[in-house]
Amino acid sequence: MKTLLDNKQLDITLQRLAHQLVENHDNLKDTAIVGIQPRGVWMSDRIAYLVKKITGQKNILYGKLDITFYRDDVHQGDMHLPKQTDIPFSIEDKNVVLVDDVLHTGRTIRAAMDALLDNGRPKNVELMVLIDRRFSRELPIQPDYIGHTVDTVRSQKVKVYWMEKDKKDEVVLIN
Amino acid sequence: MSLSVKHLLGIKELQKQDIEQIFQTADNFKEVLQRPIKKVPSLRDTTVANIFFENSTRTRISFELAERRLSADVVNFSSSGSSVSKGETLVDTVNNILAMKVDMVVMRHSASGAPWFLANHIDASIINAGDGINEHPTQALLDAFSIREAFSKGSKKATLKGKRIAIIGDIMHSRVALSNIFCLNKLGAEVMVAGPPTLMPRYIQDLGVKVEYDVKKALEWCEVANVLRIQLERQHKPLFSTLREYAMYYGINKQMLDSLKKDIVIMHPGPINRGVEINSDVADSKQSIILDQVENGVAIRMAVIYLLSGKREVLE
């Protein structure tokens, strides 16, 4: 097991990602942050908080998206129980930033895009991930905001711990 | 996570966790049904046959909508106009339908126990959409789900524990009553059945329900009244003198509800015989959640089909 980011590095990385997001979106009125259930939501909570803090804007558009019903492995392995989808605004013509913790095969993001587009037609969709497991993609999907890039093989696992849920902030690589 | 059963034959065989899992999944499908695109691609690779040997409006449409909103392919079969009248048996009929690569069967049959019989003879998952006077599991699930919704505030979901629910009417011939009793008991609610003695099955109190013959008293006791239809098609001998007399003594009207010192929730599984078991001024009142039940039916059936579609062996 190897620590990729400790709590301090994780905080710096999240700060940088939030700043990049603000830099790229000069008018946050039309920008929506959408976290992917279940684990991406812990990250998007932080990003949404940091964006509010950086800009001083209280009302940014923030939602959560569950992708269970859009998975391509419904009949393989165990059933996944859905979590809540909560997008309390129209995504029509918005700039949506999807947020997830780890980008691996890209299949989750494919499902998330399908799920998102069933909620309306956004102007564009970007992808923010904390960890990009490079070279393990099974679909042509690339992130726009990357916290940290790692080269891994399939048998390895990247695990992100969040204070709010796991009582510590840490990203580890498990062999 | 999966259900503990392969088929949904009756509520009797379900665990409490199964019911809670179905509710949690149905909550999500309810949200899906509010979207501009009320459809998810989960079951693109699944074909469902709706096999109805008995008439139905709500249940059949509700199942079909649920299946289509999960992107499943749907075939419908009703016994009238089919080869059943030429003497084909149930197992042969279903096996012939399954030979056309169908993955799941939703069946309604007038014979109690028919889905259990079928489950012993075929491989596909079976969902019971009502068998004779025995069970109607998806109706009980949507009823309990609607009660939970009626008592929930915002996103905080209520539980049915300790809630007092009266089931009123033709208990003897009602599969809705039996499935409701099993379901509500498992969720910890208190259940009372009320109706004329001739329509009350003997020993029903052994299922852990209170029995009452005075509808007024039942209404005073309960927080929710689930009113059932008089099933004349299943009564082969007269069990009360006239419908008018039944309506007089056991029908629910506004006057009765107004005389209670509280607002109770009114439910009915449909089809309603207005002016018999329930008056229009009650069925259409603010207290009635009859149309919410119908709405929730689609989400509940989506959840059941989705969860039962479960793991499938991959063909080499």
Chain B residues inside the 8 Å CB shell of A70: 40-42
Poorest-pLDDT segment among A80-84, A144-148, B66-70, B141-145: A80-84
Q: Give the per-residue pLDDT at B316.
A: 38
Locate all alpha helices (DSSP H) within chain B, ordered by sequence.
16-32, 58-69, 90-98, 114-119, 137-151, 175-186, 215-221, 243-250, 254-259, 280-283, 290-309
Distance (Å) from the C-alpha of residue A56 to the closest C-alpha of chain B?
29
Give the neighbor-by-neighbor strand order of the sheet with A170-174.
Answer: A2-5, A170-174, A157-161
Neighbours of A44 (CB within 10 A): 24
Beta bridge partners of B74: B48
Structural domains of chain A, count: 1
Q: For residues A152 and A136, what is the distance between their CA atoms, to the nearest angstrom?
A: 7
Strands B73-78 and B104-109: unpaired
Strands B73-78 and B190-194: unpaired
Please give the residue range of the domain that contains residue A67: 2-71+84-174
Instruction: Confirm whether B11-136+295-309 and B137-290 share one CATH topology.
Output: yes
Question: Where is B23: in which H helix or E strand?
Answer: helix B16-32
Q: Is the pLDDT assigned to residue B311 strictly greater than 70?
A: no
Q: Is the pLDDT assigned to residue B12 strictly greater than 50?
A: yes
Beta-carbon separation of B310 and A75 below 8 A = yes
Residue at A53 is within a domain: yes
Q: Is the pLDDT assigned to residue A26 strictly greater than 50?
A: yes
**Which one is the CATH code of B11-136+295-309: 3.40.50.1370, 3.40.50.1820, 3.40.50.12780, 3.60.20.10?**
3.40.50.1370
Which residue, among B111, B106, B165, has the nearest Cα to B134 in the 3D structure? B111
Residue at A78 is within a domain: no
**Domain segments of chain B as ranges:** 11-136+295-309, 137-290
Q: Is A58 on the interface with B (CB under 8 A)?
A: no
| Segment B60-104, tens digit of pLDDT | 999 999 999 999 999 998 887 777 778 888 888 888 888 888 999
Distance (Å) from the C-alpha of residue B309 to the closest C-alpha of chain A?
7
- ∠ CA B35-B152-A120, nearest 5°, is 10
Contact between B220 and B206 (Cβ < 8 Å): no
Q: Is A118 on the interface with B (CB under 8 A)?
A: yes
Q: Is B31 on the interface with A (CB under 8 A)?
A: yes
Q: Is the pLDDT assigned to residue B132 strictly greater than 50?
A: yes
Which CATH number belongs to the domain containing residue A55 in this structure? Answer: 3.40.50.2020
Q: Mutate which of A71, A72, A79 to test chain B, going by most B C-beta atoms within 10 A?
A: A79
Beta bridge partners of B265: B224
Domain B137-290 sits in which CATH superfamily? Answer: Aspartate/ornithine carbamoyltransferase (3.40.50.1370)
Beta-carbon separation of B42 and A70 below 8 A = yes
The whole-number average pLDDT for the span A139-165 is 93
Q: If DSSP codes are grouped into helix, strand and coil, which group holds residue B148? A: helix
Better pLDDT: A58 or A34: A34
Query: B249 CB contacts (<8 Å, ≥6 apart)?
Result: B196, B215
Chain A residues inside the 8 Å CB shell of B315: none
Residue at A76 is within a domain: no
Which residue, among B88, B60, B70, has the nearest Cα to B26 in the 3D structure? B70
Q: Is the pLDDT assigned to residue B315 strictly greater than 50?
A: no
